Homo-oligomer: A and B are copies of this chain.
Amino acid sequence: MTSLDHDKAFLADFATLSQFGETRGGGVERQAATAADGEQRAWLHQWLTDRGAEVHYDGVGNQFGLFTVTPGAPYVLSGSHLDSQPLGGRYDGAYGVLASAHAAHRAVRQWATAGSSPRYNVAVVNWFNEEGSRFKPSMMGSSVFTGKLPAETALATTDPAGTTVEDALRAIGTIGDYEGPDVAAYAEIHIEQGRGLENEDTTIGLVDSTWAARKYQVVVRGDQSHTGSTIMADRRDALLGASLLVVAVRELAEESTQTPLHTSVSEMTILPNSPVVVAREVRLHVDLRSPDEALLDAAAKKLAGTIPGIEERASVSIEQVQTHGWGVAPFPAAGVELAAQAADDLGLSHQNVMTVAGHDSVNMKDVAPSIMLFVPSVEGISHNEGEFTHDQDVCAGTDLLTEVLHRLMSGAMDSR
C-alpha cells in the first residue's frame, strides 16, 4: 500500500467507527458499556480478527488485540479508549484506538516484508471507561490494569440508575478472564484537547509530563424547608452553599494571572431537587489543575479557607474529600527522544508539550516505558460534538505511531 492508500483506509475506517452512537450535532454518545459501546467493541473485535489478531477481554472489560509475530515475547501495547462523554466528540479516545489498530497492523506487515522478527510483539488496547461519565472514576480500565484500583471496586461501581459495571459489561458481552499481555512498552496517541499545537502550527505534540491535578468530592448539607413561607433567616440552603462554592472555585482561576490554573465544577446532585423545597443536600465535584504543583497546593488551601465563610452565609455544613489527584510527573525522556527522531525522519513538525487532561498513558507510564503523542485539536474544542482534527493531522499521527511502534518492537526503549 502507498501512503495515500494508508490514509484512505484509515479515514474510511474512522468514518465507519464514528457512526456508532452518532449524534445529530456531528458527535458521538457512547458512554462506557452502553449498547453503542458494545457495538463499536464488536466492530473493532472483527476488524482485529480479520487482520490476524487474537482478541481477549480482561476482568474489567479492557479489550486487547494481540498481533503475535514472535511467540513467547512480550508485547508493545498501544491504545486509548472508545468510550465517549455524553454528546462527545468523534476523536477523543477513538482516534487513538483506531490509529493503534492501523499502526500495529502496518508495523507487523513492515516486519514481515523485511523478513525479520522483532524482539517484541505488538498489541492494541481499548481501555474500558476512560471517560468516567457513566461510572466513576475515569481511567477505570487502565487503573485496574496498573494495580491502582481493585477490580472488585471497579466491578461493583454503579451508574446513576444503579447498574453495576459488571452487569453492564456482561450485557454487552465484553468481559473475560484474560490477564493481559506482558507489556514491554506502551504508546498512545490522542487529540490535544487544547490550542497549543494549533497556535504554534505544529503537527505533533510529544508529551514530556503531566499537569498536576486535584479532584474533590464535596457534600454541602443544609435542611429542607418551604421555598415560599420559610423566613430567610431560617433557611439552610444547600444549593446556595454549592453555588457560592462554584463561584469561589472559578475565582481561584481568575486570581491566578501568572501561571495557568484550570478550575471547574461541572456536576451536581441536588436533593430533593423540587421547585418549592429548599435543597437539603448538594453533592458536587471540584477539579483543579495546574502545571505548577505549589500553585495547585496554594489554590487548594485557599479554597479550603473560603469554606467556613460559605458555611456561615448559607447556614450549611461542607465536607470536602480529595478523591483523586496526580502530580507533575514526567514521561520518560528516552521515549520523547525516540518519538522526536521518528517525527524528524518522517518530516513532521513537533514540540514538547504537557498534558492537562488525564489519559490512560498517565497510568501506564508508571508500569512500563511509555510514549504519549498528541495531534492538534481545532480551537482546542473537546468533550463537545464540535471536536475536530484535520485529516492530514490524523493521518500524520497514525504514520508517526506506526514508526514509533516499529521502533519499540525492535527494543528501542530497552537500552535507553
Contact = CB atoms under 8 A, between A and B. Distances in A.
Interface in A247-276: 247, 250, 253-254, 260, 262-268, 270-276
A247 B250 contact: no
B267 A273 contact: yes
A138 B276 contact: yes
A280 B381 CA distance: 13
Interface stretch (A177-185, A231-239, A338-346, A364-372): A231-239
A225 interface: yes
B136 A266 contact: no
A192 B231 CA distance: 12
A317 interface: no
Interface string A133-177: 100101000000000000000000000000000000000000000
Contact of A275 (B211, B287, B379): B287
A225 B383 contact: yes
Contacts of A37: none
Interface string A204-241: 00000001010100000001111111111011010110
A223 B384 contact: yes
Contacts of A355: 229
A223 B408 CA distance: 40
Contacts of A86: 271-272, 274, 277
A361 interface: no
Q: Among A226, A265, A287, which residue has the most Cβ atoms of chain B within 10 A?
A: A226
A86 B272 CA distance: 6
A129 interface: no
Contact of A266 (B213, B254, B260, B274): B274
Interface size class for chain A?
A: 35 or more
Contacts of A379: 234
A42 interface: no
Contact of A382 (B87, B226, B270, B358): B226
Instruction: Give the oligomeric copy count.
Output: 2
Contacts of A225: 381-384
A131 to B, nearest CB: 7
A228 B278 contact: no
Interface string A42-53: 000000000000
A211 B385 CA distance: 46
A245 B254 CA distance: 18
Contact of A247 (B226, B230, B247, B278): B247
Given A243-B242, A268-B239, A270-B268, A277 B85 contact: yes
A231 B235 CA distance: 37
A109 interface: no
A244 interface: yes
A230 B193 contact: yes
Contact of A265 (B88, B213, B239, B383): B239
A116 to B, nearest CB: 40
A60 interface: no
B87 A224 contact: yes
A195 interface: yes
A350 interface: no
Given A85-B272, A275-B287, A234 B380 contact: yes
Interface string A285-303: 1010100000000000000
A279 interface: yes
Given A228-B262, A266-B277, 8 more contacts: A86-B274, A132-B275, A138-B276, A194-B231, A215-B275, A232-B260, A237-B266, A268-B270
19 contacts: A85-B272, A87-B272, A138-B276, A226-B382, A228-B356, A229-B356, A230-B262, A231-B262, A231-B380, A232-B262, A234-B379, A237-B266, A239-B246, A240-B247, A243-B243, A267-B275, A268-B268, A276-B287, A278-B383
